[in-house]
Amino acid sequence: MEPRILERAQHCISRRAIDSRVLSVMYRLIGDGHTAYLVGGSVRDLLMGRKPKDFDVATSAHPAQVRRLFRNSRLIGRRFPLVHVFFGRDNIEVSTFRRHDEALAGTQDPLIQRDNCYGTPQDDAFRRDFTVNALFYDPRTGRVLDYAGGLEDLRGRQIRAIGVPELRMREDPPRMLRAVRFAAKLGFVLEAATRAAVERWRADLLRAAPARLALEIHRALAIAAAPQAFAMMRELGLMEVALPLLDAYLAGLADSAADGDATAHNLAALGLAIAQGLEATPGFALACLFADFYLRQEGRAERWQEAAAMLRSRGVSRASVDEAGRLLQMLLQMLTRPERLPALARRRHFAAGLRLYRLLVLNYAAVAAGSGERGALGIFSGDGARRRRRRWRRGRKRVARRRALQEPAQPEALAEGASQGAVWEKG
């Protein structure tokens, strides 16, 4: 099958937009007699005029051959070996063209168990997940190669699975979350058959490796378009499978008169911060996701323990779950006991907790004002508010004096904490 080809004059990709280190890797592979293309999301983003987050290279060279060409490289992966070529702290991922394992073609279970078969560029294109991610850029000629119809779907702004959508979702269930992430991130829609496959086989998410499931959940929600991804996950039923405790809580809010949009507002604040350069850790993203779940329920400690157990069963690391729990506890204390801020400032995770507070506090102020409650969880107004603000300011000054005696420089976290005084002074 011949690919559809866009000549250099027919597209907007310029070599100047490609990292010079990536070009050097491809040219060395080509100079050694191999085929090497820029592949995947980087080609898609360049065609859309976006700046790629990273660049991936696919080649006809086998991993051992790539490893011999680049001394600054390392083999990684067991199921399908890849090569990382290092440039300081950065690395370029180089993979060999691969294809479907024909030995598994007749099996009843489509879940991919092994995937270590090398192939041609055409094989590699049809092995990828979505058409818009199966575009190749040839640095020698400046051509874009399209084997799977990705250019048409790019123009139509839709995410379409390559091949039979139901089979592609079942052989690698985390693709459902990837489809949501790409649709939200790019402002695209899911093609009808792909959407139907996600809705039908969403329960297969639990068949994925837990660590991979946790990674894709984080990738879907720790993006600038987090609220759109979150809404799409709920609409498709993926949230019910991936995070059933949170989904049940949100469904209960929808059935009652309570404000069910607080979680979406929190994710919108997270997405805005990410768009402005924040790099959200998995624990920080989870704290934003579960903030309303944690703050509004009775017996929050027990409910969080249930949520933590659910997250651990989904492959989230213990460190990330513990980080989220600490941040939520700190957020609660900042909201309900502002006089404890000087004591909180001495804690290791104060800077992250304060960042979470600054992201979410206005959301809860708006929710409280709209519901007629006495401030956000009862702290923004009412009896004693002025006294609490005054005590907090005095405590902050005491901590500043104490630290000035102990350290030559003021800690950055305390400086950030001091900037919050204006919030409390407005009451």
Q: Give me the pLDDT at residue 114, please.
A: 53
Which residue ranges in the chain fall short of pLDDT 50? 257-258, 366-383, 409-427
Report, as residue numbers or ranges, the catalytic residues: 54, 56, 129
Distance (Å, whole) CA 346 – CA 351: 10
Distance of CA 414 to the CA centre of its chain: 29
Q: Which domains does the chain have, with CATH numbers?
A: 1-156 (3.30.460.10), 162-242 (1.10.110.30), 245-426 (no CATH)
pLDDT tens-digit map of 100-148: 765 555 555 556 555 568 899 999 999 999 999 999 999 999 999 999 9
Strands 36-39 and 158-159: unpaired
Distance (Å, whole) CA 139 – CA 60: 15
Q: Give me the pLDDT at residue 375, please.
A: 35
pLDDT tens-digit map of 203-239: 999 999 999 999 999 999 999 999 999 999 999 999 9
Distance (Å, whole) CA 298 – CA 383: 23
Please, are residues 105 and 84 in contact by the beta-carbon 8 Å criterion? Answer: no
Residue 330 phi/psi, 5-degree rounding, is -65, -40
Q: Give me the pLDDT at residue 198, please.
A: 96
Strands 135-138 and 143-146: antiparallel
Distance (Å, whole) CA 350 – CA 85: 37
Burial 321-341 (b: 16+ CB within 10 A, else e): bebbbbbbbbbbbbbeebbeb
Residue 137 phi/psi, 5-degree rounding, is -120, 125
Using CA atoms, how far residue 289 sits from 230, 247, 283, 357, in Å, is 9, 11, 10, 13
Task: Name, in order, each residue with C-beta under 8 angstroms of 28's C-beta and a sequence gap of 6 or more.
Answer: 69, 70
Write the burial class of residue 153 (CB in 10 Å: 0-12 exposed, 13-18 middle, 19+ buried). Answer: buried
Q: Give me the pLDDT at residue 345, please.
A: 83
Against a cut of 0.85, is the pTM above it? no
